[in-house]
């Protein structure tokens, strides 16, 4: 009897195989890369070239098959949100006056284009080791499969720009509303002593602290993502980025102490789950489920059970304003868990959310064991002196 993870991995392999089979040789060479490709762990959440094949370069059927692959790695609500986020690009394009032709500036920044989302498959679908990713501005999904089992689903990134958009006088659209509202509900449920521990800074960092680093780095502070492809730096320039950061920080009167408070450390900051009341734990569980619930049901259930088993060791840290539409940030950190959320840019109307495994993003830990076993004939890692 196959496991739920195996069933999902099989669906992914079928979707990936069907997509690759639909591609002409020139497109296939761009879509299918070796599992050892070092760029497998390079990821972005900016409107730039994410490598692989852009939906803009595909036929309608090929795009449909690529979306089938994406959907195989998400729950139905997760897929709904991902496609909604992609189509926010059209809203941004309109807001910018449709000045940049869609698909232009390939290899650098390409403007706001719903078709500039990219898919890649690494290795042979269904092989002992393989993986895939789907990414573009504000969606980045990564999977690693080993021996027919899904071993990694991180990094998993959803963002939204705008974070909130009016649909009428009575309706607004908020693709990552749950991640915001439940965290704030938890914050407001805390008593004064709990809040004093949970709130680490009055000012929010201008972005998620780990940014798009391939690995989670101790001591990290946010950095603007710089894009370089084909030897050409992306835009905006570093000077512009520095001015943007200064503007965002000046609005909050950010101090050196605030920046230091937001710095990532291996020792988690904030309030541990062990100090939450039962009612507060219920809110915390619902918040965690907003992240695990992005995944296909069998994997989501297993991941959520794991999160609940370590909930007492997960720390909740908040920085920035306490109310809606004020710049704010939070992170949840514990054993093999890092969740980050920010809504600071564009007058606190531009959000980023990410779920990571500090030890096993991209299946790094299990792949290392596999390669070590293949080289040394044992499942253990190679000695440090080798």
Q: How many domains does the chain have?
A: 2
44 and 75 share one domain = yes
136 and 223 share one domain = no
Per the domain annotation, does 368 fall within a domain?
no
Q: What is the pLDDT of residues 247-286, one digit of tens each?
A: 888 889 899 999 999 999 999 999 999 999 999 999 999 9
71 and 114 share one domain = yes
pLDDT (0 to 100) of residue 234: 41
182 and 324 share one domain = yes
Comparing CA positions, the residue from 197, 182, 176, 177 lying closest to residue 283 is 182
109 and 185 share one domain = no
Q: What is the pLDDT of residues 365-384, one digit of tens each?
A: 888 776 666 654 544 333 33
Q: Which residues of the chain fall short of a pLDDT of 50?
A: 1, 105, 227-236, 376, 378-386
Task: Return the SS3 of 314.
Answer: coil
Per the domain annotation, does 381 fall within a domain?
no
How far, in Å, CA of 71 to CA of 69, rounded?
5
How far, in Å, CA of 31 to CA of 90, rounded?
25
Per the domain annotation, does 103 fall within a domain?
yes
149 and 204 share one domain = no
pLDDT (0 to 100) of residue 382: 33
Task: Identify the burial level of 85 via C-beta atoms within 10 angstroms of its C-beta, where 0-12 means exposed, 13-18 middle and 19 or more buried.
Answer: buried
185 and 68 share one domain = no
Per the domain annotation, does 378 fall within a domain?
no
Query: Could you tell me if 315 and 273 are in contact, meaning their C-beta atoms sit under 8 angstroms apart?
Result: yes
Per the domain annotation, does 44 fall within a domain?
yes
116 and 198 share one domain = no
Per the domain annotation, does 372 fall within a domain?
no
Q: Alpha-carbon Rg of the chain, whole angstroms?
A: 21
Task: Return the SS3 of 11.
Answer: helix
Tokens of 100: 């940049």
Per the domain annotation, does 139 fall within a domain?
yes
306 and 344 share one domain = yes
36 and 120 share one domain = yes
pLDDT (0 to 100) of residue 282: 98
Domain containing 353: what range?
176-359
pTM recorded for the entire structure? 0.91
End-to-end Cα distance, the chain: 40
127 and 188 share one domain = no
138 and 184 share one domain = no
Task: Identify the burial level of 257 via C-beta atoms within 10 angstroms of its C-beta, where 0-12 means exposed, 13-18 middle and 19 or more buried.
Answer: exposed
Concatenated DSSP letters of 122-153: ES-TTSSEEEEEEEETTEEEEEEEETTEEEE-
């Amino acid at each position: 009897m196959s496991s739920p993870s195996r069933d999902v991995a099989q669906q992914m392999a079928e979707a990936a195989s069907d997509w690759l089979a639909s591609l002409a040789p020139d497109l296939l060479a761009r879509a299918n890369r070796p599992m050892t490709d070092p760029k497998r762990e390079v990821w972005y959440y900016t409107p730039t070239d994410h490598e692989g094949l852009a939906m803009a370069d595909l036929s309608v059927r090929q795009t449909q098959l690529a979306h089938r692959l994406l959907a195989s790695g998400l729950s139905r609500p997760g897929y709904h949100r991902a496609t909604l986020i992609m189509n926010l690009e059209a809203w941004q394009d309109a807001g910018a006056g449709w000045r940049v032709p869609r698909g232009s500036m390939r290899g650098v920044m390409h403007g706001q284009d719903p078709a500039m989302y990219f898919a890649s498959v690494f290795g042979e679908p269904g092989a002992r080791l393989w993986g895939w990713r789907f990414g573009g501005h504000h969606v980045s999904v990564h999977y690693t499969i080993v021996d027919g089992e899904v071993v990694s689903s991180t990094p998993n990134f959803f963002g939204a720009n705008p974070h909130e958009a009016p649909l009428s006088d009575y309706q607004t659209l908020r693709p990552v509303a749950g991640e915001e509202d439940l965290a704030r509900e938890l914050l407001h449920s805390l008593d004064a002593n709990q809040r004093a521990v949970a709130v680490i800074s009055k000012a929010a960092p201008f972005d998620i602290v780990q940014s798009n680093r391939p690995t989670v780095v101790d001591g990290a502070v946010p950095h603007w993502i710089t894009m370089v492809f084909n030897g050409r730096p992306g835009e905006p320039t570093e000077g512009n980025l520095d001015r943007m950061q200064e503007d965002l920080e000046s609005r909050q009167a950010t101090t050196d102490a605030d920046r230091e408070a937001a710095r990532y450390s291996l020792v988690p900051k904030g309030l541990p789950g062990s100090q939450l009341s039962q009612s507060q734990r219920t809110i915390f569980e619902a918040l965690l489920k907003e992240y695990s619930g992005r995944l296909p049901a069998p994997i989501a259930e297993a991941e959520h059970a794991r999160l609940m088993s370590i909930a007492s060791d997960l720390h909740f840290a908040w920085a920035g304003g306490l109310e809606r539409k004020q710049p704010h940030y939070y992170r949840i950190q514990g054993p093999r868990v890092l969740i980050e959320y920010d809504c600071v840019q564009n007058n606190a109307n531009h959000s980023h959310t990410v779920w990571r495994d500090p030890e096993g993003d991209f299946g790094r830990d299990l792949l290392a064991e596999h390669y070590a076993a293949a080289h040394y004939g044992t499942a253990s890692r190679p000695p440090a002196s080798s």
